[in-house]
Structure 1
Amino acid sequence: MIKVLKPGVQLTIQDFGRIGYRHLGVSKAGSLDPCAQLIANRLLGNNDNDAVLEVTVGLCELEFNCDTVIAIQGADLQAKLDEQPIYPGWTYAIKNKQVLSFATGRAGLRAYIAVKDGVQCPLIMGSRATDLNACFGGLDGKALSSGDCIPIKPFNGPFIKMGAIAPPQRKIIRLHPSPHAKLLGKTLLHSFTSGKFKASPNSNRMGVRLVNNTDNLMHTHSLPSVAVNPGSIQLPPNGEPIVLLNDGQTTGGYPLLGTVISADLHQFAQFRAADNIEFEYVTLEQAHRAQHKQNAHLHQLSLALNNSNNKK
C-alpha cells in the first residue's frame, strides 16, 4: 500500500469517471486530464482506466510500503524519489519504504501517478473515481489526508524503463457553437472569442472561472435549467464565464457560450491563474479532425510500447 505522509493541496483517487448516470444527477468525476492518466497507465502496461492518483499543485509526500513500478504524467511538479529528481513521462521502479514527494511547478497544475495494476479501491457505479461533492468513490469519498493508506498490489517483476510525450498544450481552445447563439447575439459572442481570459483562483474540479478586464459579456438573460456536461461554458449575468469540469452539476440555468471540443477539454486540468486563455469556434468536421489527431498520438504510443515489449 501507499501511506500518505502529506496530502498537499488536493490529492484524490481518479479514473475516467462515471458514465451514464447524469440523468440521476450523478456527476462524472474522474481525472481532469484523462490523456495524462491514459499515457501513465499505458507506460506500465495497465488498462487505460486503471485508477491513478491526481496531484493538484503538488506539496505532497507518499511512502510506499511495498515494491512497485510507477509512471508520472501531466504537470512537472518537481517530483523526487528519496530526494532524487524524477520526471513526468517516465516509469520508475519503487522499493519498499521509498518516499515520493512533490514540490510545485510554474507550468501546469496537476500530475498523475499510475502504479502497476492501478489503485485498488472499490468500484462504485462502475468507477473508482472520487466524487468530492457527493462524498463517495475513491477512499471514503474524500480528498486524501495524512495517514491514509492507499491499497495497491505489490510488484517486483521486470519492466522496461519507458518514456512518452504528452499532447502539446494549447492556449486557444476550440469550441462547438453555442446553442444559445441567437439569444446572446453576434456582438457578445464576438467579444467572447476576441477577448483574452485568465483562470480565476476561484476555480476547482467543478469548473474553471474565467476573468478579464472588460464587462462586454454582462447580460440579463434568464433561462429554464438545461442539461450541461463537462466542457459546457456557462455565462452568468456578471459576464465571467465558467467552464464546467468533471465535478460540475448536471443542469444549469445560465445561457451557454458553447462547449469545449473533446480534444481540448483536458487542457483545463493544467491552466493556472496566470495563464492566458482564448477561444475560437470550429465546425464539427474540425472537431473530429482534432480528436483524430489526438487519437493518432496515443495510438503511436501504443505501437511504440508494443514494439519495445516484443524486443524483450
Structure 2
Amino acid sequence: MHNLIDITSDLRAGILIQKAGIQTTVQDLGRRGLRHLGISQAGALDATSLILANKLVGNPEHYAGLEIVIGPLQIVFQRATWFALCGANFAAELDGKLVAKAWRHFAQAGQTLCLQGAQKEARAYLAVDGGIEVESILGSRATDLQAGFGGHQGRALRKGDVLTLGQPRLFKRSVGVLQRCWTPEIRAIRGPEFAQFNSCARKKFWQQAWRVSSQSNRMAFRLEGDKLERESSSELLSHAVLPGVVQVPASGQPIVLLADCQTTGGYPRIATVIEADLWKIAQTPIGQHFCFIEVDLNTAIAAQEKWQRELRRMDSMEYA
C-alpha cells in the first residue's frame, strides 16, 4: 500500500528503452473510418488488454501504450510513474522485485522495469499514467509497420529510444482487475463464401484443431491443417476485408486477418471471428492449436455487449 505519491521533477520526461525486445511497438486502438482510403486500422492486436491496462492507470482507453511480443524488454522510467501490465504473463521485475500483471504499480524516477519471455499467451501491454505521447497521425498514435508510419518513427522500438509521457496522475494505492482466461476455442460466424466450400471442408473448418504457423505476423495469422476445398474454382471480385475475416487462398490453409491487414482482398471468406474473441487470436502463440466454434450473429452481438458492460463496471470502480 502506497501513501499519496507526489509526482515531481520533469513532468514531461519519458521512458528510456535499454533493451527493445523483438517487435515492441507503440500502439493505441488504431485508425478507424479510413479503410476506404486504403489505410489499415493498425493498433493493438489485443485491444482489450490495452484498454484494461489504461483503465488501471487512469487513462482514457484509447491512450497509447506498448505492445510487447518477445523479450527481453528493459526500460528506465525518467519520472515517477504508475504503470500496468496486461495480456500475456511475462516474467516482469522492477529493480529485481517481481511485478504482477493486471495490477497498477508505482515506479520511482530512475527505476528499471525488465520483462523476459511470456510464460503464457503471446503479447503483453504496458500502459503508463498519461500515456505515451508520440505524434498523432490520422487520429491515432498506432504504429503501422507495413506502411512505416505512426508510433515512434513508424517502426519497432530500438535500444536508446526515448518516449515522452503525458501528464502524470496521483493515486493513493495499487489496485488490480480480473483477467480473462485464454481458451483454445474461438467463436466465429459463417462468412459470405462459406457455402462455396464442399461439405467436407465445411465440417473440417469447425471440427479440426488449427495450428498457428510461424509465417504469422500483425497482418494475419496463417493456419495449418487439412486443406479446405471449394466446390467452385471461379475467381472472386475484390471486396472489403476487416480484422477477424478468415480467408482461404488456393493453398486451402485459412488466414485470419488482424489489425494491420489490407483493406481489400479477393480470397473467399469462410468465416469471421467475432469481435469479443479477436484478443484470443492475438494471444495464441506460434505453434499452438485452437478450434473455431460456430455461433450466430446474435451471439456475437451479445458477447460484445457483455464485454462493454464489464468495461462500464470498471469505470464505476474507485481507483483513486
What TM-score, normalized to structure 1?
A: 0.93
Match of 1:118 among 109, 131, 136: 131
User: Is 1:69 equivalent to 2:62 in the alignment?
Assistant: no
How far apart, in 2, do the equivalents of 1:46 and 1:94 lie? 17
Q: What corresponds to 2:9 in structure 1?
A: none
Match of 1:132 among 145, 164, 171: 145
Task: Name the SS of the counterpart of 2:301 in structure 1.
Answer: helix
Q: Which moved more, 1:159-168 or 1:253-262?
A: 159-168
The verdict on how the C-alpha distance between 1:68 and 1:195 changes in structure 2, with shifts beyond 3 A counting, is same
Match of 2:177 among 160, 164, 167: 164
Q: Which moved more, 1:274-283 or 1:241-250?
A: 274-283
Q: How does 1:231-250 map to 2 (within 5 A)?
A: 231-250=244-263
Q: What corresponds to 2:270 in structure 1?
A: 257
How far apart, in 2, do the equivalents of 1:111 and 1:9 lie? 12
User: Is 1:267 equivalent to 2:280 in the alignment?
Assistant: yes
CA RMSD of aligned residues (A): 1.6
Q: Quote how far apart the aligned CAs of 1:154 are.
A: 6.3
What TM-score, normalized to structure 2?
A: 0.91
The verdict on how the C-alpha distance between 1:50 and 1:286 changes in structure 2, with shifts beyond 3 A counting, is same
Q: Quote how far apart the aligned CAs of 1:89 are.
A: 0.2
Match of 2:70 among 51, 54, 57: 57
The verdict on how the C-alpha distance between 1:158 and 1:296 changes in structure 2, with shifts beyond 3 A counting, is closer
Which one-letter code corresponds to 1:150 in the other structure? L
Is the 8 Å Cα contact of residues 199 and 211 (structure 1) preserved in structure 2? yes
Match of 1:11 among 6, 24, 28: 24
Match of 1:215 among 206, 216, 227: 227
How far apart, in 2, do the equivalents of 1:168 and 1:270 lie? 11
Task: Name the SS of the counterpart of 1:263 in structure 2.
Answer: helix
Q: What corresponds to 1:205 in structure 2?
A: 218
How far apart, in 2, do the equivalents of 1:199 and 1:92 lie? 33
Q: Quote how far apart the aligned CAs of 1:159 are.
A: 3.4
Match of 1:43 among 50, 56, 62: 56
Q: Which moved more, 1:32-41 or 1:151-160?
A: 151-160
How far apart, in 2, do the equivalents of 1:185 and 1:106 lie? 40
Residues 278-299 of structure 1: per-residue CA shift (max 9 Å, x gap): 0122111111121122223323
Is the 8 Å Cα contact of residues 197 and 228 (structure 2) preserved in structure 1? no
Q: Quote how far apart the aligned CAs of 1:69 are.
A: 0.7
Residues 199-252 of structure 1: per-residue CA shift (max 9 Å, x gap): 11111110111112x334478453221110000111011111110000011111
In structure 2, stretches of 5+ residues that fail to align are 1-13
The verdict on how the C-alpha distance between 1:163 and 1:62 changes in structure 2, with shifts beyond 3 A counting, is same
Is the 8 Å Cα contact of residues 192 and 217 (structure 1) preserved in structure 2? no
How far apart, in 1, do the equivalents of 2:171 and 2:276 lie? 34
The verdict on how the C-alpha distance between 1:153 and 1:215 changes in structure 2, with shifts beyond 3 A counting, is closer
User: Is 1:186 equivalent to 2:199 in the alignment?
Assistant: yes
How far apart, in 2, do the equivalents of 1:245 and 1:221 lie? 26
Q: What corresponds to 1:152 in structure 2?
A: 165
